[in-house]
Structure 1
Amino acid sequence: MNDPAPTPVPTADAHQGLHSEQGALRGEHPGRAAQPVIKVVDLAWLEFTKPDLDRAETFAHDFGFTTAARTDDTLYLRGALAGTHCLVIRRGPASRFVGPVFQAADAADLDRLARATGHEVRPLTEHGGGRAVDLLDPSGIPVRVVHGVAEQPARPVQQPLVFNTGATAARVNATQRPPRKPAQAERLGHLVLSTRVFHRALDWYLQHLGLIVSDFLYLDGQRDRGPTMAFIRCDRGSEPADHHTLAMHLGPDNGYVHSAYQVADLDALAAGGEYLRERGYRHSWGIGRHIQGSQIFDYWRDPDRFMLEHFTDGDLFDNTLEPGWAAMSASGLAQWGPPASRDFLGTSPSPGMLFQAISALREDNEIDRTRLLGLMKALNS
């Protein structure tokens, strides 16, 4: 079997006015591995456990998913676009995030990844079939890479509205009345994780899965210590990919922060949010437009307090763009919209938060007093 071709040297430098105000300084992290083991092409799905599958399915339908399959103890949820299911929820004693599942480009990539990591390729015997390699990232989060999972055909999609703009009259003798109904989830867009070992985890994903960085964030006054957040995309060569498929930030806890699902347009997002509000679900933050990624966003909590995002109109980059660099701050999360809420930022004081901070400071990781104070300052700036 031939070794993978060398990673192309990035040629584009388009940070000004695009996604970040700065590029890298000499000697800073390049944002990609020179010779990654494989290059995954997308997220396939996310896995959770929850004790109440009926409640999980009700929220899922209200949020905009449809049920792809269900057994006595497992729920498979999908978006409207063609592809694999995007969420798997298994019945369990407690609500918890299990881990992400990434899509390999071909079967040979699974074999290559298995050899490089000392793991085995195994068949998947549940809904969709396929083959998988199961790994563990440096944060202790299970990561699965799959290939050959049966894809489901596209469903009829929610159509974007037609707009009259400026001197262009595209809609005549017709009113605009977007229905108040679930915003149809088209696909899984990205996952955000928190980790106490940010640099180790970052390098692991770049090296093993071939992901590349779109943007780095660093703590004000601590840039010399390296980044503390990365927005990471798939390397599909000249084919554009989402600005980030995975985002990670340094924090006092390890695990899930939120996941994001694409919808048709702003009206679908807003009307879908009103639908969720009327059914008593908890709103976290939005509506606004992000800076890194540019997408219009709206964040919600499910009944188990997991955060999910509706988004539309996100950036797409090919593999020629180099990473942008910017200082981390709460005010730097959005171009417009309400200030980031305490719920979204996770800064509401609680005994659990205090315990996590104390625990992180006592362990061997990348959290120290200076880092922790810098994070607190960034989240309140």
Structure 2
Amino acid sequence: MFHVFRLGYVEFNTRDIEALKRYYTEVMGFSLVEEDADGRVYLSSSTDHHNIVLVPSTLSGFARFGLQYQSDFSAKDVVKQLAEIDIKAELKTDTKPGVPEVIGFSDPDGYEVQLFSEMGTAASGFKHVGIIPNKIGHLSLRVESAKRSVQFYEKLGFINTDWIEEFFGFTTCNTDHHVLNFCASPRKGLHHLAFELRNYSHLAHCMDYLGKHQIPILWGPSRHGAGHNIATYHYDPDENMIELFTDGDKYVKELDSFEPRPWHRDNPQKPKVWKTEDCISQWGTSFEKALV
């Protein structure tokens, strides 16, 4: 069988590719790795060939995402394994630079998922100017049924780590509290894309940096309940919601619990169902901008 172990990249369609390219290079501090003949822009947070892809389009918004997997079997065998769990997938080669093979399929809400085992490297490393996150932390999608989405991704090896009532489900494929989460919503699309920062001082620096670029903070900083990350949110130029966070919980699969932290109210802190009022802010902070 195959093992999905991280969120590798996220793609956005955009009507204004130059504005979004400036945001990722000048504000987020990503490196521009490549622009292909069709105008697609490939951006790297550190050493991957790409972690963000921008696609020229007549529409703007979330397009698709890539999950990296490990397997002792060939990609063709993985396609067969997916078929055994009722996921119809297609193997494509050389569809994008840096990724020789992609296994593509759609989830129950029609979101395009791409599995890949190998990605080329970029020599850029971390830049010195910009927000410069550690990595893409997690992707949050609006779905028809959070329960259905969680159950689907469990077939890919994801583990359900927390719930906010019945409308928001968190899942992970590694030690991060969540890698994918799902918000039940009447409309389809991105809820938010989150980038992991190094610590709280880095987060404070980033908010100053956003201020210098006249990008207002929508919500935060505050500490969430589920995941316990200290988070803040803003919009990119296409009004995709972007989260910057630090201090997220670390999940220990063997114990089905999270590494202890001084701010945990449960001991041990295990996956559970949170009430909305207990989860949004552990600091009792309220904001005019809602996150749903």
Q: TM-score range by the shorter chain?
A: 0.7 to 0.9
After superposition, residues 208-223 of structure 1 pair within 5 angstroms as: 209-218=156-165
Decide which of 93, 102, 113 is 1:132's aligned counterpart.
Answer: 102
Return the alpha-carbon distance in structure 1 between the equivalents of residues 279 and 225 of structure 2.
7
SS of structure 2 residue aligned to 1:282 = coil
Query: By how many angstroms is 1:182 displaced?
Result: 2.5
Decide which of 163, 167, 171 is 1:228's aligned counterpart.
Answer: 167
Return the alpha-carbon distance in structure 2 between the equivalents of residues 278 and 254 of structure 1.
32
Assess if the C-alpha contact under 8 Å between 2:142 and 2:182 holds in 1: yes
- Equivalent residues, number: 272
Query: By how many angstroms is 1:294 displaced?
Result: 1.8
Structure 1 pair 84/212, CA: closer, same or farther in 2 (3 Å)?
farther
Decide which of 22, 26, 29 is 1:58's aligned counterpart.
Answer: 22
Q: Which residues of structure 2 form unaligned runs of 5+? A: 258-269
Partner of 1:345: 291
Query: By how many angstroms is 1:45 displaced?
Result: 0.4
TM-score after normalising by structure 1: 0.66
Return the alpha-carbon distance in structure 1 between the equivalents of residues 130 and 277 of structure 2.
29
1:281 aligns with 2:215: yes
Return the alpha-carbon distance in structure 1 between the equivalents of residues 167 and 248 of structure 2.
22
Q: Which amino acid aligns with 1:56?
A: L
Return the alpha-carbon distance in structure 2 between the equivalents of residues 230 and 299 of structure 1.
19
Structure 1 pair 251/155, CA: closer, same or farther in 2 (3 Å)?
same
Assess if the C-alpha contact under 8 Å between 1:217 and 1:230 holds in 2: yes
Assess if the C-alpha contact under 8 Å between 1:295 and 1:314 holds in 2: yes
Return the alpha-carbon distance in structure 2 between the equivalents of residues 130 and 107 of structure 1.
17
Assess if the C-alpha contact under 8 Å between 1:39 and 1:211 holds in 2: no
Query: By how many angstroms is 1:146 displaced?
Result: 1.0
How big is each residue's C-alpha offset from its partner over 1:114-148, in whole Å with a ceiling of 9 and x where there is no partner?
Answer: 11234332213422132111111101111111122
Partner of 1:202: 150
Return the alpha-carbon distance in structure 1 between the equivalents of residues 282 and 249 of structure 2.
14
Return the alpha-carbon distance in structure 2 between the equivalents of residues 262 and 327 of structure 1.
23
TM-score after normalising by structure 2: 0.85
Partner of 2:271: 324
After superposition, residues 362-377 of structure 1 pair within 5 angstroms as: none
Assess if the C-alpha contact under 8 Å between 1:229 and 1:250 holds in 2: yes
1:79 aligns with 2:38: no
Assess if the C-alpha contact under 8 Å between 2:159 and 2:173 holds in 1: yes
Q: Which residues of structure 1 form unaligned runs of 5+? A: 5-37, 159-180, 219-226, 236-240, 347-381
Q: Which moved more, 1:61-70 or 1:329-338?
A: 329-338
Q: Which amino acid aligns with 1:345?
A: L
Assess if the C-alpha contact under 8 Å between 2:162 and 2:274 holds in 1: no
Return the alpha-carbon distance in structure 2 between the equivalents of residues 340 and 330 of structure 1.
13
Q: Point out the structure with max Rg over C-alpha.
A: 1
Q: Which amino acid aligns with 2:253?
A: N
Assess if the C-alpha contact under 8 Å between 2:90 and 2:105 holds in 1: no
Structure 1 pair 186/135, CA: closer, same or farther in 2 (3 Å)?
same
Q: Which amino acid aligns with 2:237?
A: P
How big is each residue's C-alpha offset from its partner over 1:13-55, in whole Å with a ceiling of 9 and x where there is no partner?
Answer: xxxxxxxxxxxxxxxxxxxxxxxxx431100101111021211
Return the alpha-carbon distance in structure 2 between the equivalents of residues 84 and 212 of structure 1.
28
Which structure's residues are more often strand, by fraction?
2
